[in-house]
Structure 1
Amino acid sequence: MRLAVESGLQEAGHLVLSRPDGSSLERDVGEFRPDVVVLDVMLPGRDGFALLEVVRARSRAGVVMLTARDAVDDRLRGLTSGADDYVVKPFVLAELVARVSALLRRMGRIRSTLTVGDLIVEPDAGLAQRGSETLTLTATEFKLLCHLAEHRGQVLTKTQILSAVWGFDAYDPNLVEVFISGLRRKLEEHGPRLLHTVRGLGYVLRAEP
């Protein structure tokens, strides 16, 4: 489970140091200075509740408690002892990764950033950049790009795009074609094609041809 969590967080872009027991954590937490600690309660030696006190004393890291214990008193103990979130096993790895990312955002450690190849989109900041060039987009083009980037690698139909970007799904689909064409042109001014047409299905934003 530790290796799976480590892999999932690394794939999400986080720098991860994993340790199998509390002694290793105590030794390394001060030097590594993590932004977030995912702390299992059931560990060899000192349990997670005791280690939570160590983390709080030696760092300013956010803490997500991870345990099979689902009793209300255990959850309350973790939260009142200084944990920021509590995930009960069995859990979906994607949810744990999302909770870590959400905690980092609440702490101001990361901004919401989407990347596709050399394209960087920051929805919260209203910025889109391709390589070293900042893209000049209209409000609708930026909203369209954010939606495509949030679903990067996924083919979206015109109806799905209309509903998400314009808020309705019973309108002239040529509207989507016009904005896709304009957005694609601006993207390709600074690099190879990222916005692809999948004939008969829709559009997909991806780095691969």
Structure 2
Amino acid sequence: MNVPHAQHVLVVEDEQRLARLLVSYLQAAGYRASAQHDGLSVQATVAAGDVDLILLDWMLPGMDGLSLCRALRANSDIPIIMMTARAQEEDRLDGLDSGADDYICKPFSPREVVARVRAVLRRRPAGTPTPGLQIDDQGMRAFVHGTELALTPVEFRLLKRLRDAPGKALSRDDLRTWVYEDRRIVHDRTIDTHVKNLRRKLEEAGLAEAISAVYGVGYRWEARSAQQP
């Protein structure tokens, strides 16, 4: 039975009987779960938001899982667990090197898969993911529904700090310390201006009302569902 607002696990597996079995076990564990049977449409699904983790088969029609994992990692930090019958150490290393968070070999117990999903999601930072938003930490880039935002370095650091503390009121002093690593003296109005510009860019990209002002304190990330553009 699906639970409203539960985390969504996307099963990408061309063996449809196995995909249905995994979806059933995930739903019984309280997750929302759905399945796709080839690699070609997955990137569009992830870019549209509302996917919290991907169970990704290695051998897929259209686009293999290893190539798909690398493509997703170009602009997304969504958790990925690779599933494959290729049990050699070199294969496991290839899967992890491609950006996968975990690796599980077939044949496996569906209960073990659910446990792996739970463990990977438990390790994620509290602020991830926000539906429709992907952040590339290394590249200092952010995407909404697959479209890159034109952010300044200051705006990117603001976004990262707010997104990683959902629901928490962050003071202007906290944000100033995070944004300006050289600890320069910056007026509160400067932070307000940066937040205003960041909020405008998020709204134009389809992520409305993500940042709220907290009177007398600073700002809060609401982590609401992204709106489709």
Q: TM-score, normalised to structure 1's length? A: 0.50
Greater share of helix residues, 1 or 2? 1
Structure whose alpha-carbon radius of gyration is higher: 1
Q: TM-score, normalised to structure 2's length? A: 0.46
